[in-house]
């Protein structure tokens, strides 16, 4: 029986090595490559053409969702299981819309991870329970519409963190280091939250944060 070929792309060495060690204990799976960033993942994808790629949603250079989108645009057959540290709704929805075939948290058990890999390999979709809850919440919020909803409440937890740090005057590189994200992801989160809040400049964003008690006057400008 031909073994399932898997590529593991995660920026954290311990996480990546731990996943690889786990998969290597499964006789039906062959780990064909590892990547620490999105560019390395692209090169490994072209070289190995794996059946499944496990991709960290916060990969530097090119994040997991962007990798999934690129694979779909090129009609590649590799299935993509996205790995996240938390059930951040924005990351989940973006990953799924980009073409991810599943989303699992890094805190999942070995059994859950193997089940997820096999599910997406067979053509199914896998959502970790707490992730599925976020997807349902997003669907319900879309159904209800934005009317009567506080704009701030519609921000993801990560967007709220970025909002606070931007309003405090932090630069993109600083925010990236603080939140352990790529600068590109920070920029995207900033653009998303400004759109949701209907603000169009840094000054407007700071005013919003001050007006809503997100920062104090001494924290901001």
Fold held by 4-135:
Rossmann fold (3.40.50)
- 1: exposed, middle or buried (Cβ count in 10 Å: 0-12, 13-18, 19+): exposed
% of the chain with per-residue pLDDT over 70: 87
The per-residue b/e assignment along 92-107, b for 16 or more CB within 10 angstroms, e otherwise, is bbbbbebbbbbbbbee
Q: Could you say which architecture CATH assigns to the domain 151-210?
A: Orthogonal Bundle (1.10)
- What average pLDDT does this structure show over 154-173? 89
Contact of 53 with 22, CB cutoff 8 Å:
no
For the ranges 69-73, 136-140, 155-159, 195-199, the lowest mean pLDDT is seen at 136-140
C-alpha distance across the termini of the chain, in Å: 63
Range list for CATH 3.40.50.2300 in the chain: 4-135
Numbered ranges of CATH 1.10.10.10 in the chain: 151-210
| pLDDT classification of 135: cutoffs 50, 70, 90 | low
């Amino acid at each position: 029986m031909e073994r399932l070929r898997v590529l593991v792309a995660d920026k954290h060495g311990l996480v990546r090595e731990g996943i690889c060690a786990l998969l290597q204990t499964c006789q039906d799976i062959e780990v064909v490559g590892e990547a620490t960033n999105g560019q390395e993942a692209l090169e490994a994808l072209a070289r190995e053409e794996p059946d499944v790629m496990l991709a960290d949603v916060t990969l530097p250079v090119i994040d997991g969702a962007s990798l999934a989108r690129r694979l779909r645009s090129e009609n590649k057959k590799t299935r993509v299981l996205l790995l996240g540290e938390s059930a951040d709704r924005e990351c989940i929805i973006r990953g799924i819309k980009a073409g991810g075939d599943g989303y699992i948290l890094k805190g999942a058990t070995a059994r859950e991870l193997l089940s997820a890999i096999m599910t997406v390999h067979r053509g199914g979709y896998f959502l970790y329970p707490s992730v599925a809850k976020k997807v349902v919440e997003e669907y319900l919020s879309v159904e209800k519409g934005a009317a009567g909803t506080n704009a701030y409440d519609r921000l993801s937890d990560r967007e709220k963190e970025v909002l606070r740090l931007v309003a405090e005057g932090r630069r993109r590189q600083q925010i990236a280091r603080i939140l352990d994200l790529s600068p590109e992801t920070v920029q995207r989160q900033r653009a998303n939250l400004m759109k949701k809040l209907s603000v169009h400049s840094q000054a407007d964003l700071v005013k919003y944060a001050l007006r809503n008690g997100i920062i104090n006057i001494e924290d901001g400008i």
